[in-house]
Structure 1
Amino acid sequence: MVSLQIARQSNARISSLPRGLVALFVGATSGIGQSTLQNFAQHAPSPRIYSVARPQTVALHESQLAALRRSNPTAKLNLIQADASLVSEIDKVVNEIMQKETKLDLLVVSAGFMAFEGRKDTREGLDPSMSTRYYCRQRAVQLLLPLLKNAASPRILSVLAGGLEAELNEKDLDLKDPRNWSFWNASVHAATMHTLSLERVARENPGLSIIHWLPGPVDTAGLRRAAQFGMRPPNQMTEAEAGERGLFCATSDRYGVRAGLVPAPEGVGPANRSGGGIFLLGPLGESTDNEGVLATMRERGIDKVVWDFTQQVFANIAANGSHDASKDEL
């Protein structure tokens, strides 16, 4: 267990890092993502930060960023308007960043929700609860690899459910059959597919540190909404603490495949990686072991099945988008 005091001490050392770290936050308009962004913006010297907001949250998020600019006048905070449940919108976000930056030091993805009211697909034909928690996150990771590889010690922090992976419905990975879909099945599928795909990225990019963090129950608006559907987990962490711990996981060399950001705290050993090469972390920053599930899926080649399926989903969306564009032009 990493104490909150240790996390805070580590975060304070971010101020001694080189100026001009570049970070992208997807899902930081509220909750854990917002708190992590706030802590990073306050500590980092002259950072260049990009944050994605849906149209309906732009005004609120811009006011949040304005407050952070006042607290750290050296920070450059940029708001990008996009819907993080649409793969095509993630493409636009990435294109904008690649036009402005030559590297990306930190990618933090935390968008997501549980679809308690049932499945209502996006215009791309995906369950939005799975899209925000898997497809769009994975799309951002893959497209941003060139910028991440240009950073000295690149990190990806995905806030979801590392360590809670479970067997997949291999014949219906996107749970199109109503008999297979439930808000819980969608949650498990998204987390498991995410871990398997992140492991694939890690194996192909050994210099990239990837952290899949399960923060546990956190007192966010989303969890308060879940209470309406009977979910009231005990021992909830505050948003403030989750943001401090999230930043620690994202920047401490304890979770780095190579050093380059904040040195690991004295007396705290390096975290273990999964058999696939990523850090699966529990709420308090300790490694979790889910090899009983993950190793079996790797041995059976399910990671490749998930990867190929995902690439086909992306290809179909791109093809449909091009087709729609050509129709619009006629």
Structure 2
Amino acid sequence: MKTTGLLTLLFTSMAATAIAGPNALPMGVEVVEIDGKTTVREVPHALLGRGLDKRCRECVGQGGSCTIGDGSCYSEDPPLYCTWCGDKCGSRCYLRINNTLPKTRNNTHKTYHTIYTMVRYSEIQQSNREFGETSRAAPFVAVFVGGTSGIGKSTIKALVSTNGSLKIYLIGRKSAESGIMPFIEKLQTINPNANVAWLEGEVSLLVDTKKICEIIRSKESRIDLLFLSTGYAPFGPREETAEGVEITQSLRYYTRVLFILHLLPLLREGKGRVVSVLAGGMEWAVTNLDDIDLKKPGSFGVVNAHIQCANMTTATMERLADDNPDVTFIHSAPGSVNTGNVRRGIDSPNSVKAWLIWLFLEPLIRLLSFSNEESAQRHLFQSTSAVFGGRGVRWEGNSGRNSRGDNTAGLFLVNEKCDCTTNEKAVSSVRQNAKDKIWDHTLEVLNPYL
């Protein structure tokens, strides 16, 4: 894997924060500098494909020939956005101009076509408040796998803080129990209507995952939310569990899928949803099908493992979504969030890699990342809003589009801004070339534990 691939993965989510703000120009208007004079004029839609955002550039390249100004590309309600591109990208797109109006060598202007966030943060917060105000005949039942730290833990706190009637299963390793108990006690002080139950298990092990699922199935008849956020980046060498599965692939893919398969009957009964926090919308067109578990020398590494898990997660969740239309599936990319887990996959604290992370990557994450609170609010929104289909807090705006670009049930690839994307070129390749092989291999690994 080339170095540029690693840089792309590290900075893709960070670059998303540079989108247009509320003062962006209306769609169909551009500012140009010609012969030293600044002019505002209408612009053909086809010119908007020169932007920084890969998704919109691809959309325009697929046949966006409509001309802004004839009325066909405008939404009747502000803010204006191009419905053609919205149909393709699942997001509102605006024209953004670089504030400095940079000139190129031949004195022409530059325009940028960007994805504007589908949902404002204030709307996310309001939706989450409405979730807590919704009366229910029975408690909202949620299962959090990976809730002892990072995004999972902060999302649990945000959920409990809505003051809704809740029953939460928090699953983690025995070594985390002493540290998590004060957190659970605090949660039940914040919200007396929240019943938070601790379930101990080593979720990197498939046998433990099966046992945990059996306990939950013995206690519950339905589940409203299964939230999966286990795992970390494998900066160190390949390390296998006692079951022969590489540990980060187990945490980020295999045990997550096993949780879904075992708990699907309860999710169907509750018309619930599954949120898997990893890399939705960051799939690559190429999947290593000759060495799916990356066991061959030179195959394993932080970038290859990330791509493989991203592609496998989307392929499998899309298949499960197709077979279970009453369950909502979300593959979420959290963006840059300072979870504190970046060093977990390092084999030696004094290695060159550890020093590079300490000197460069960690400061960059702190500088550009979402706060834990904002990340929690955004993931709570993904977990409870009807914008992504299924049951949830009513949404008056545009609904999200699934991985096939439809406003129907299915798998939703959601980025850190709560925008949906199809990542069409990469996901289409995974769907056509890898989906069946990934599923067959997954069942081969998981069958002893089903």
* TM-score of the pair, normalised by structure 1: 0.90
Task: State the AA in 2 paired with 1:307.
Answer: W
Question: CA 1:296 to 1:130, structure 2 compared with 1: closer, same or farther past 3 Å?
Answer: same
Which of 272, 278, 289 is equivalent to 2:401?
272
Q: Secondary structure at the match of 2:325?
A: coil
What's the CA shift string for 1:268-308, capped at 9, x where partnerless? Answer: 310110029310011110012312011123223x2111011
- The separation in 1 between residues aligned to 2:240 and 2:429, in whole angstroms, is 31
Q: Counterpart of 2:375 in 1: which secondary structure?
A: helix
The one-letter code of the counterpart of 2:393 is: V
Q: For 1:228 and 1:130, how far apart are their aligned partners in 2? A: 24
Following TM superposition, by how much is the alpha carbon of 1:44 offset from its aligned partner in structure 2, in angstroms?
A: 5.0
1:169 aligns with 2:300: no
Counterpart amino acid of residue 394 in structure 2? P
1:228 equivalent in structure 2: 358
Q: What is the alpha-carbon root mean square deviation over aligned residues? A: 1.7
Within a 5 Å distance, the mapping from 1:54-133 to structure 2 comes to 54-133=173-252
C-alpha distance after superposition, 1:74-122 (max 9, x if no partner): 2111000011211111111100000000000100000110121211110
| Secondary structure, counterpart of 1:77 in structure 2 | strand
The answer to whether structure 1 residue 6 and structure 2 residue 135 are counterparts is no
Deviates more, 1:11-20 or 1:189-198: 11-20
Q: 1:298 — aligned with what?
A: 431
1:224 CA displacement: 6.7
Change in Cα spacing, 1:173 to 1:17, as seen in structure 2 (3 Å) is farther
Q: Deviations over 1:26-57 (max 9, x none)?
A: 00111111111111122252211101011111
Structure 1 residues 20 and 125, CA, compared in 2 at 3 Å: closer, same or farther? same
Contact 2:233 2:342 in 1 (8 A): no
Distance across 2 between alignment mates of 1:64 and 1:184: 34
What CA distance in whole angstroms lies between the structure 1 residues aligned with 2:264 and 2:231? 22
Correspondent of 1:285 among 396, 415, 418: 418
Report the alpha carbon displacement of residue 7 of structure 1 after superposing the two structures with TM: 1.0
Instruction: Name the structure 2 match of 1:160.
Output: 278
Q: Does the CA-based 8 Å contact 1:215-1:283 persist in structure 2?
A: yes
Segment of structure 1 superposing worse, 43-52 or 302-311: 43-52
Map Cα deviations across residues 127-176 of structure 1 (whole Å, 9 max, x no partner).
1111111001111011110000111x311111110011112110100111
Q: Which residue of 2 aligns with 1:325?
A: none
Q: Which residue in 1 is equivalent to 2:445?
A: 313
Q: Counterpart amino acid of 1:10?
A: S
Aligned-residue offset at 1:230: 4.6
**Equivalent position of 1:261 in the other structure:** 392
Aligned to 2:16: none
| 2:281 and 2:413 in contact (8 A); partners too | yes
Contact 1:14 1:44 in 2 (8 A): no
- Of residues 90-99 and 175-184 in structure 1, the stretch that sits farther from structure 2 once superposed is 175-184
CA contact (8 A) 2:272 2:327 kept: yes
Larger radius of gyration: 2
Q: Which runs of 5+ in 2 are unaligned?
A: 1-116, 345-353
Count of residue pairs the alignment pairs up: 312
- What amino acid is aligned across from residue 195 of structure 1 in structure 2? T
The aligned amino acid for 2:392 is L
CA contact (8 A) 2:210 2:449 kept: no
Larger RCO (alpha carbons 8 Å, 6+ apart): 1
Task: Give secondary structure in 1 for the equivalent of 2:300.
Answer: coil
Residue identity in the other structure for 1:228: W
Change (3 A) 1:178 1:44: farther
